[in-house]
Amino acid sequence: MTRHLLEITDLTPDELARILVLARATPTPVLAGRGVALVFEKPSARTRHSSEMAVVALGGHPAVVGAGEVGIDTRESAEDVARTLASFHDVVCARVFDHSVLNRMAAALDVAGFKVPVVNLLSDQGHPCQAVADLLTLEDVLGPDLSGKVITYVGDANNVTRSLALAATARGMVVRIAAPERYSFGADEVEALDAWAAGAGASGAVEVHHDPVAAVTGADAIYTDVWVSMGQEAEAAERREHLARYSVTETLVGHAPDAAVLHCLPAHRGEEITDGVLEGPTSAIWRQVRHRYHAMVGIFSWLDEQGALR
């Protein structure tokens, strides 16, 4: 069966560990003569360029496709877009608004017998490629054994938070989520994350907090992301009001002065993070950006190892 990568839960903890190893290895030409479709329904700087250059490094041809060009569910159905791209390319990667579109694309390929994996380049639900880069960054700054280390996510519990929590707990980390009640994960979701962490068999766990100071105290790393994700622009004013207390400022970081600071970017400086913290001595953010490329090298190389590429 074709291996798709729509969320970190599509991997076992060992497979995730293997991707991290492959990400740090010298790229081999596993994509030689192969095309990789990179479809974007939303803007992107890091994801587009890291994916594109990783495909080039692995000897393949990246084909970047804008939303208007293929018109998912407007010009033709997501299923027909997926099958068409899979007729020419050996991997179909997509950034979509609605995660169910990725599920439909993967199902359409499976049902029709295409052995072409679908990779999530960010949806409203998750951002697994980012989470792989986040783990590489955390290993660099906290050491290769992340087990028992604490990372505190401050702000809107969103797509990035979800994939980060899954990836970090799979590596044995304790993930504290500091968010206001209305922008935190619900009880069902926390239960699912806890079950995942327990299933990973390491020391990973998820904790929900509402007080950012208590949540960062004693943390090894602090992570944040925008308060208004792509597609949520209509809620911007309301979100800014409720999340104002969850800004990663010099004062907040002062409660964990040695903690590494991460942000997936793009940042809204002065909202979820201050300039001073982003550019500060504990910021690992630019290292994290560069790891987006290594993460994609690891993911494509792992798909090849699985025999997922034709």
Alpha carbon of residue 18 to chain centroid: 17
- Picked from ligand NVA, ligand CP, none, the partner binding residue 229 (CB below 5 to 8 A depending on kind) is ligand NVA
Instruction: Spell out the residues 6+ positions from residue 138 whose beta carbon is closer than 8 angstroms to its own.
Output: 146, 149, 151, 168, 171, 173, 221, 260, 262
Which of residues 44 and 169 has its CB atom nearest to ligand CP in the complex?
A: 44
Q: Does 226 bind ligand NVA (CB under 6 A)?
A: yes
Letters for 66-105 (x = contact with ligand NVA by CB under 6 A, - = none) are ----------------------------------------
Q: What is the per-residue binding string for ligand CP in 119-138, x denoting contact by CB under 6 A?
A: ---x-------x--------
221 forms beta bridges with: 151, 260
Answer whether the bond into residue 117 is a cis peptide, omega within 30°. no
Contact 278, 131 (CB under 8 A): no
Size of the site for ligand CP (CB under 6 A): 9
45 binds, among ligand NVA, ligand CP, none (CB under 5 to 8 A by kind): ligand CP
Compute the distance between CA of residue 268 and CA of residue 126 in angstroms, rounded to an integer: 20
Between residue 27 and residue 46, which ones bind ligand CP under the rule CB under 6 A? 44-46
9, 73, 230, 282: which one contacts ligand NVA (CB under 6 A)? Answer: 230
Q: Residue 4: which of 113, 116, 170, 122 has the closest Cα?
A: 116
Report if residue 51 touches ligand NVA, rule: CB under 6 A: no
141 scored as a contact of ligand NVA (CB under 6 A): no
Q: In the chain, which residue ranges form alpha helices assigned H by DSSP?
A: 13-24, 46-57, 67-70, 78-86, 99-111, 128-142, 159-170, 187-199, 212-216, 236-243, 250-253, 275-278, 285-305
Site for ligand CP in 137-196 (CB under 6 A): none
Q: How many residues bind ligand NVA (CB under 6 A)?
A: 9
Contact pattern from residue 230 through residue 249 relative to ligand CP, giving x for each residue in contact according to CB under 6 A and a dash for the rest: --------------------
* Nearest residue (beta carbon) to ligand CP: 47
Residues whose CB is less than 8 angstroms from the CB of residue 221 and which lie 6 or more positions away in sequence, other chains included: 138, 141, 142, 149, 150, 151, 152, 259, 260, 261, 262, 284
Look-up: residue for tokens 């998750």?
Answer: 126
Site for ligand CP in 260-299 (CB under 6 A): 264-266
Nearer to ligand NVA, 86 or 267 (CB): 267
**161-220: contacts with ligand NVA (CB under 6 A):** none
Sign of the four-CA dihedral 29, 30, 34, 38: negative
The CB-nearest residue to ligand NVA is 229
| Binding flag, residue 229, ligand NVA (CB under 6 A) | yes
- Report the SS3 class of residue 283: strand
Give contact residues for ligand NVA (rule: CB under 6 A): 122, 158-160, 225-226, 229-230, 264
Give contact residues for ligand CP (rule: CB under 6 A): 44-47, 122, 130, 264-266
